[in-house]
Amino acid sequence: MKPSKKHCLTQQEIEEQLRGAGVQPTLQRILICQFVLCEADHPTAEEVHLWAEKNLAKISLATVYNTLNTLVDAGLLKELKFPHSDKVIYDDNMEEHYHFLDRKSGKLFDIAKGDVKISAQLAKQFQIQGFDLLINGNYQRDLKKGGSL
Amino acid sequence: MKPSKKHCLTQQEIEEQLRGAGVQPTLQRILICQFVLCEADHPTAEEVHLWAEKNLAKISLATVYNTLNTLVDAGLLKELKFPHSDKVIYDDNMEEHYHFLDRKSGKLFDIAKGDVKISAQLAKQFQIQGFDLLINGNYQRDLKKGGSL
DNA sequence: TAGGAGATTAGAATAGTTCTAAACTTAGAT
DNA sequence: ATCTAAGTTTAGAACTATTCTAATCTCCTA
Ligand SMILES: [Mn+2]
Ligand SMILES: [Mn+2]
Ligand SMILES: [Zn+2]
Ligand SMILES: [Zn+2]
Distance, Å, A61 CA → D13 C1':
14
Q: Are A132 and A126 contacting, i.e. CB atoms less than 8 angstroms apart?
A: no
Tell me the sheet residues that pair with A44.
Answer: A89
Q: Which tens digit of pLDDT belongs to each residue from A19-45? A: 999 999 999 999 999 999 999 999 999
Q: Which tens digit of pLDDT belongs to each residue from B24-79? A: 999 999 999 999 999 999 999 999 999 999 987 899 999 999 999 999 999 999 99
Instruction: Give the count of alpha carbons within 13 A of B20, CB side only.
Output: 8
Q: Are A101 and A82 contacting, i.e. CB atoms less than 8 angstroms apart?
A: yes
Residue type, A120: A
The three-state secondary structure class of A63 is helix
Interacting residues of A125 by C-beta distance below 8 A, sequence separation 6+? B139, B140, B141, B143
Given its phi and psi angles, is residue B91 left (phi above 0), alpha (psi -120 to 50 degrees) or beta? beta
Contact state of A83 with B86 under an 8 Å Cβ cutoff: no
- Residue A146 — very low, low, confident or very high, per pLDDT cuts 50/70/90? very low
Residues constituting chain A: 149
Torsions phi, psi for A37 (to 5 deg):
-90, -25
Q: Which tens digit of pLDDT belongs to each residue from A48-93? A: 999 999 987 899 999 999 999 999 999 999 999 999 999 999 999 9
Look at the alpha carbons of A60, A61, A65, A68 in this order and tell me if their dihedral is positive or negative.
Answer: positive
Q: Are A84 and B130 contacting, i.e. CB atoms less than 8 angstroms apart?
A: no
* Pairwise CA distance, residues B40 & B51, whole Å: 10
Q: Residues of B from 24 to 63 whose C-beta is within 7 A of strand D: which are they?
A: 24, 26-27, 44-46, 61-62
Q: Are A39 and A8 contacting, i.e. CB atoms less than 8 angstroms apart?
A: no
Span A11-80 CATH architecture: Orthogonal Bundle (1.10)
**Domain A95-137 top-level CATH class:** alpha beta
Burial of residue B79 (CB within 10 Å: 0-12, 13-18, 19+) is: middle
**Residue A44 alpha carbon to ligand 2 centre in Å:** 22
Torsions phi, psi for A116 (to 5 deg):
-130, 135
Interacting residues of B41 by C-beta distance below 8 A, sequence separation 6+? B6, B108
For A39, A41, B7, B72, B133, the CA distances from B97, given in Å and listed in that order, are 37, 30, 18, 16, 9
Q: Would the pLDDT of B2 be above 90?
A: no
Q: Which residue has the higher pLDDT, B143 or B122?
A: B122
- Residue B145 — very low, low, confident or very high, per pLDDT cuts 50/70/90? low
Domain residue spans in chain B? Answer: 11-80, 95-137
* Nucleic strand D near CB of residue A71 (< 7 Å): no
